[in-house]
Amino acid sequence: MDKVVRTLIENGEISLTVVQNRDMVQKATVTHFLTDLGLTTLGQVLTAVTYMASSLKDEKGKVSVTIKGDGEGGDICVSGNYDLFIRGAIDNPYVYLPQKANGKEDVEGAIGRKGTITVIRDDGYSQPFVGTCELSTGNVADEFSRYFALSEQLPTAFFLVTKAKEENCVYSGGIMVQPMPGASAESVERVSDLLSSMDVEEKLSATDAETFVKEVFGATEYTVRQPLYRCTCSREYLRDILMSFGEEELRRMIKEDGRICTHCHFCNTDYVFYEDDVNEMFPSEQK
């Protein structure tokens, strides 16, 4: 089962989140027919956004992240909501690059080093918060850390691990560490020393998220929630979007093609609308 485990460590001075989301990334893999590189890249972004969604305070809250880089994968878009329903897509799901010398997937090559990362966070009430940051290395963890430092003024360390084998996700997860306001330099240093003293990738992928926060950080109180790869689209939602095009435009489309095809790129679902549907949308004109 996928998990988001959140706790406070160092006497409440540091917020620690551990995500394990193999099932989520596997669902994305079969939905989009991702290559090993595609799933490693999208998987890491799904993990980071799962963390951001778990930080939302309001039940109407949602967050979406778009990475527009010059890499081989094209644009990546991932969004999540308060319920931890997470979904995402990559422009080029079939992206392929030779593995790097250390045997890892070339995620930097898929993302690119030039471009932007944009975050839209909607707390359900006021205007959504929009923050944008330039890409620097194409390393997903670095890009999110930079974004948090520059755009949100919240220093946050990301450790993101997604492993692929023969177009299957064998492990995905991450650790996010954020000092609370007023955290002492000593606490921050102790946590960063602890993490740098171990092979985070190895330890994380071999340990359940709850066990990890207990064994590695000695946490006794923590919350556990289950994130899911789930799209929030529906036929009604697409119908509302179509209606905003106006009756004239929709009737023109029906006249041209006999139907209106819409597609949700997050879950690869087609929604097709016919003349009867348009008549229903604009009943006054029904003949």
> Which residues would be at the binding site for Zn ion (CB under 5 A)?
231, 233, 264, 266-267
Closest to 169 measured CA to CA, from 136, 143, 205, 197: 205
Rounded to whole angstroms, the Cα distance separating 261 from 266 reads 16
- Token pair belonging to 32: 């989009």
Report the relative pairing of strands 62-69 and 115-122 from DSSP bridges: antiparallel
Residue 96 burial (C-beta neighbours within 10 Å; 0-12, 13-18, 19+): middle
Q: Which is nearer to Zn ion, 32 or 146 (CB)?
A: 32
Q: Which is nearer to Zn ion, 170 or 267 (CB)?
A: 267
Q: Which is nearer to Zn ion, 238 or 250 (CB)?
A: 238
Residue 244 CB, nearest distance to Zn ion (Å)? 18
**Residue linked to tokens 């081989």:** 72
- Token pair belonging to 272: 């097709």
Q: Which is nearer to Zn ion, 168 or 269 (CB)?
A: 269
Residue 28 CB, nearest distance to Zn ion (Å)? 12
- Token pair belonging to 225: 């929630």
Rounded to whole angstroms, the Cα distance separating 141 from 176 reads 10
Residue 228 CB, nearest distance to Zn ion (Å)? 13
Q: Which is nearer to Zn ion, 99 or 234 (CB)?
A: 234
